[in-house]
Chain A
Amino acid sequence: MPAVEMEGIFKVYPDGVVALRGVTLRVEEGEIHGLLGENGAGKSTLMRILYGEIKPTEGRIKLFGREVNFSGPWDAIRHGVGMVYQHFTLVPTFTVLENLYLALLPLNPDITPEEVRKLAEKKMEETGLRVPLGEVVENLPIGVQQRVEIIKALLQNAKILALDEPTSVLTPIEVEELFKTLRELKKEGITIIFITHKLKEVKEITDRVTVMRRGEVVGTVNTGEVSEKDLARMMVQREVVMSLQKSPANPGEVVFRVENLKVRDEAGIEAVKGVTLELREGEVLGIAGVQGNGQRELAEALAGIRLPHDGRIIFEGRDVTSLGAAERYKLGIAYVPDSRKVGLVGDMKIVENVILTNLPRVTSSGRIMWDAAESLSEEVIKRFDVVAPSVKAPIKHLSGGNQQKVMVGREIVREPKVFIVAEPTQGLDIGATEFIRRTILNLRDSGKAVLLISTDLDEVLQLSDRIAVIYEGRIMAVGRPEEFTLERLGLLMGGVDA
């Protein structure tokens, strides 16, 4: 009997976005089932539905043959569903035992910490999964914290354990240990759903795998019967629509060079592990990859927001590695971040947002010349076709597309020589997307160097003159679009050399 049967699951969000289009997933009892797909394929949404966090618009869920309808995660937990997210749900200043106690209390209000300790010790004995009960959580390595999450789910009597990209936060050794654990749990009869975009891991750990793409299931296969290539093809298979007319590139001098760049993330973990790139005038270099593979850290290091701990950044022959963002912007580097929450100040006016990265142009001895600021904003509005009542309107009243145009436009009016742009069309409608992409191509045609960082494979394929694939902070390959088949791209993005 299958442990999980999800049939005909649709999920339509109130804003009309369709996340899942009739997904059917069957997970057999006691197997490790992989769930593979790109960003936005719908894996996480499907799991959140299984965990009772969101309700499906349509569809049925059966656990061990019985239909269920969860009112919330607690309901799911009571039915034996456990979930381990990328971001842990532990109280960092509590000890492991206190966290476990906290997790069990809602299920059994009479339980004592001493009983929890006994239960935990018994469970550790059974599974061989060891965690130090007396230690404060924040002092533990990430891998151990994850183990605490798993123990927590097991103590809550989870029969089905879903792990969302569990390896993304782990070191290779920790990954090995996790896999050992999962095999151990499988022996205990626990059903495991393993969400990932890494092909190697799918091959290594799963029994069967369901591949998703754009809210639909492409297929479910026995892992042993398919190759990584097959999986990659299933994951990225698409018709690339070349709606944009693109003139051939005419690359010039190298204006921007990155040598062996290493950057740490907020947690101090090395997110960019030695990236080397060259960017020429008049070309778009696209960086393809699944989200969370070091793209943001790379972009911020290139813009000067984040200091790399190793490597060099050369702009027009000059070493700019130690310069801050404002100085680099002044030299002619522009950066459009992946999030409008970062790039724009929602509570401020359009004009106040336009000057954010243009301060040197509108200030004179510390004073802001609002007239100059307003005419600069008018220019952005006119040139980039921003629909706005006035430059004094709050930016948050603009649509996402118009906000994006302001964010891109204010950089372009500065006439930068190097234009770094991340996820430029995320969440935009078709019209705005076309406009932004056209703008990027025009910029290239006018001889500027563009570095496009995007998790949208279509976008990278459409705009790039050269493509680099990033995986776990490393560039897997660089080449012209013709040199990549979709299958190869899929393999590279999944961490398989090809």
Chain B
Amino acid sequence: MLSVDRESILEVLMSLIIAFAVGTVVLVVLGYDPIRVYSILFKYGYGNTDYLLKKSTPLLLTGLAFSVPAIAGVFNIGGESQLYVGAITALLVAHYTGSAIPAVIIGTAAGALLGLTIAALRVYRNINEVITAIMLNWTFFYFIAYLVSAKYANPKVPHESVPVPPGARIGGIFFIAVLTALTYYYVLHFTEIGYKMRVSGVSPQSARYAGFSPEKMVLTSMLLGGAAAGLGGALLVLGATYTIDTTLSAIYGIGFTGIGIGLLGRNNPVGIIFSSLFMSGLIIGGQWVELKTGAPPELADTLIGVIVIALAVPYAYRLLMKKVGQRGSAA
């Protein structure tokens, strides 16, 4: 079922050219040498493989957390809180058991459960998933900040949580993430449940006609999405930060960035592997642009923003038009 679509490649290439062209204009207007800025961005962004892979891991997984539900027609903006609960439960399980495997499993399950909760509220109580997710994001942000600073603070380093014990720290987290992406790809395109999710996402009425319930697919996709984000949180803590600081700076924002990564990867798990790498490189490189050129960090952020928008907008626009079209024809 793998095949290459010329239109798609062309679109991404065009977006890329436009993105960097717009970026160049922004740089020139602000008085920076675009060649220098870009070369620093790419040299440092993609120069440190270990860093790049670690940085990409949670982003890849929150990208999946957005895209798998998106394929089934749900807008999962809750990758953020699903990653939080994955991170905190994995940390605590590792803390108590001293081993990684139960921590990964329980962290993943926690994310999945949270995703399922949001979906269940939509399916059974007709509560908009975006609103639920936004509220839960903040609820869990503060709850975890409380846990980390009040209940599980590291007595030696009070601004951090208890650390992951050395025996529970793991490496190679990026490959676990890639494996997850490939598994999701397989599920979506080679299994009945994946097929049903895809049909439900594009046309719930067709799903109903075919005799399966789009609501059930909403639940399934949010379960899978939440599991990905939860796994992302677990891997982040067990394989990169080993702790959560009281300002939550290590885990904050990854779920939101995941939305952009999902769109950039065209909601395709394999595409998301690459979009997460691409985006992580930009984020990493952006820090060095500040160091090397003296430009404020906002410059790199702006540049990344412009690039992501140019890459994601045509796709997001088409998705939106499709939704509007569906609604129009249903009326």
Contacts and interface: CB of A to CB of B under 8 A. Distances in A.
Interface of A: 87, 303-305, 324-329, 335, 337, 341-348, 352, 355-357, 359, 363, 366-368, 370, 392
B191 A345 contact: no
A326 to B, nearest CB: 3
Interface in B296-331: 322, 329, 331
Given A325-B210, A328-B211, A355-B195, 10 more contacts: A87-B331, A341-B329, A342-B203, A352-B199, A357-B210, A366-B191, A367-B192, A368-B191, A368-B192, A370-B190
B1 interface: yes
B191 A326 contact: no
A348 B210 CA distance: 15
A366 B193 CA distance: 7
Contact of A325 (B191, B193, B211): B211
Given A305-B209, A325-B211, A326-B210, A347 B192 contact: no
B212 interface: yes
Given A87-B331, A326-B212, A370-B190, A341 B203 contact: yes
Contacts, number: 68
Contacts of A366: 191-193
A356 B210 contact: yes
A286 B134 CA distance: 52
- Report the 4 A-B pairs with minimum CB-CB distance, sorted nearest first: A326-B211, A325-B211, A356-B210, A363-B192
Contacts of A327: 211
Interface residues of B, number: 21
Most central of A327, A328, A348 by chain B CB within 10 Å? A348
A96 to B, nearest CB: 22
Given A305-B211, A356-B206, A345 B190 contact: no
Contacts of A346: 202-203
B198 interface: yes
Given A87-B331, A352-B195, A356-B199, A324 B211 contact: yes
A152 to B, nearest CB: 20
B211 A342 contact: no
A304 B211 contact: yes
A337 B208 CA distance: 12
A305 B210 CA distance: 8
Contacts of B247: none
Interface in B74-94: none
Contact of B195 (A324, A335, A344, A368): A368
A342 B205 contact: yes
A174 to B, nearest CB: 23
A356 B211 CA distance: 9
A367 B190 contact: yes
A222 B203 CA distance: 48
Given A345-B199, A356-B206, A370 B1 contact: yes
B191 A337 contact: no
A337 B199 contact: no
A328 B209 CA distance: 12
A426 to B, nearest CB: 14
A305 B322 contact: no
Nearest to A355: B195
A61 to B, nearest CB: 27
Nearest to B3: A392
Contacts of A370: 1, 190
Interface string B178-212: 00000000000011110100110011011011111
A62 B3 CA distance: 60
B254 to A, nearest CB: 30
A352 B195 CA distance: 8
Interface in B91-140: none
A363 to B, nearest CB: 5
B202 A305 contact: no
Contacts of A328: 211
Contacts of A344: 206
A341 B3 CA distance: 26
5 contacts: A329-B211, A342-B203, A342-B206, A344-B206, A368-B192
Contacts of B191: 366-368
A335 B190 CA distance: 26
A87 B328 CA distance: 13
Contacts of B198: 348, 352
Contacts of B331: 87
Contact of B209 (A325, A352, A363, A368): A325
A481 B190 CA distance: 49
Nearest to A349: B1
Interface string B202-246: 110110111110000000000000000000000000000000000
Nearest to A347: B202
A326 B208 CA distance: 9
B101 to A, nearest CB: 26
Contacts of A352: 195, 198-199
A367 B190 CA distance: 6
Nearest to A327: B211
B211 A347 contact: no
Nearest to B209: A342
Contacts of B208: 305, 325
A341 B322 CA distance: 13
A345 B192 contact: no
Contacts of B329: 341
Contacts of B209: 303, 305, 325, 335, 337, 342-343, 356-357
